[in-house]
Structure 1
Amino acid sequence: MSIVALLRENSAPTEDDVRRAVAGNLCRCGAYPNIVKAGVSAGKRKS
């Protein structure tokens, strides 16, 4: 949900933008790099 909110405000987020957006979320699986890539990719598709 954090990335959806980010994409509403910024249609082309950088990796740093996505990292800041998900900074408050806890993920125990270690998938943060993939989550960041997915957020950036979603922004590129939306543009």
Structure 2
Amino acid sequence: MAVYKDGDKWRVIYRYTNWKGEKKQTQKRGFTTKKEAQAWEREIMLKQ
């Protein structure tokens, strides 16, 4: 659950624990704005 500036783009790293108790991490890069990155992060959090 972190948004980072990656050069001129934004990157989101999202860590969570799945239903088996395993720790997982997913990330997505290439957002042009911080708001876009945060919106994607919120969407992923709602799916979990």
Shared fold per TM-score greater than 0.5: no
Q: Select the structure that is richer in helix.
A: 1
Structure showing greater relative contact order (alpha-carbon pairs closer than 8 Å, 6 or more residues apart): 1
TM-score when scaled to structure 2?
Answer: 0.39
In terms of Rg, which structure is larger?
Answer: 2
